[in-house]
């Protein structure tokens, strides 16, 4: 699958089959995440892979009751290791670069998963403190995204997108 096929075909999936995700596929997806660009190659990402049903249920509650999170065979909590970037770039590294870099890694997860026939959804609506508590993350590790992962049990239509002529500016606004 080429990258444009993955970009254009990927959808947010909120219904999954019960089929397991083999560790080989999971590791391939996570390895793809580590190929994301990062400021100064600091690589601030950390990944918590959750398969335990009770923990997935707690994550769904922390995600403001988005129950589909608990229904996926695997949930990946993508986190930013803030000191890994702030030690080099200070406040801007902590507040921007670490988050940008981790978001790039999360996008790679979505594209790699789709290329392997899996569905994902970027879940950003959650209680940060509760998610941190559920996964037992240290204070300096910030959850950025919750990604349920599994074989899709739905085929959503593409969502509407703003036309390029409304969002592309040449040389200035």
Segment 87-105 mean pLDDT? 98
Segment 51-56 mean pLDDT? 98
pLDDT-based confidence at residue 129 (cuts at 50, 70, 90): very high
What are the two backbone dihedrals, phi and then psi, of residue 43, each rounded to the nearest 5 degrees? 50, 65
Position 52 in a domain: yes
Position 173 in a domain: no
The structure tokens 């997108």 sit at: 161
For residue range 9-24, what is the model confidence (pLDDT) as tens digits? 999 999 999 999 999 9
Tokens of 165: 């002529």
Query: In the prediction, which pLDDT does 2 show?
Result: 93
Position 8 in a domain: yes
Helix axes 23-33, 98-115, angle to 10 degrees: 140
Give the domain range for residue 78. Answer: 3-167
Could you tell me what percent of the chain has a pLDDT over 90? 99
Segment 122-143 mean pLDDT? 98
Strands, sheet with 45-50, edge to edge from the N-terminal-most edge strand: 45-50, 74-81, 141-150, 119-120
Q: What is the CATH number of the domain that holds 32?
A: 3.40.109.10
Q: Is the pTM of this model over 0.85?
A: yes
Tally of domains in the chain: 1
Position 172 in a domain: no
Position 96 in a domain: yes
Position 103 in a domain: yes
């Amino acid at each position: 699958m080429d990258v444009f096929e993955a970009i254009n075909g990927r959808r947010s999936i909120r219904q999954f089959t019960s089929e397991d995700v083999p560790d080989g596929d999971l590791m391939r997806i996570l390895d793809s995440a580590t190929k994301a660009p990062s400021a100064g190659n600091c690589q601030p990402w950390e990944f918590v892979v959750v398969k335990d049903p009770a923990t997935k249920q707690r994550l769904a509650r922390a995600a403001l009751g988005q129950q589909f999170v608990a229904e996926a065979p695997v949930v990946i909590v993508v986190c930013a290791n803030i000191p890994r970037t702030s030690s080099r770039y200070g406040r801007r590294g902590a507040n921007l670069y670490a988050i940008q870099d981790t978001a790039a890694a999360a996008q790679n997860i979505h594209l790699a998963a789709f290329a392997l026939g899996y569905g994902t959804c970027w879940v950003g609506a959650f209680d940060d403190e509760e998610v941190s508590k559920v996964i037992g993350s240290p204070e300096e590790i910030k959850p950025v995204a919750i990604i349920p992962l599994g074989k899709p049990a739905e085929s959503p239509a593409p969502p509407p997108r703003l036309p390029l002529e409304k969002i592309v500016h040449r040389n200035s606004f």
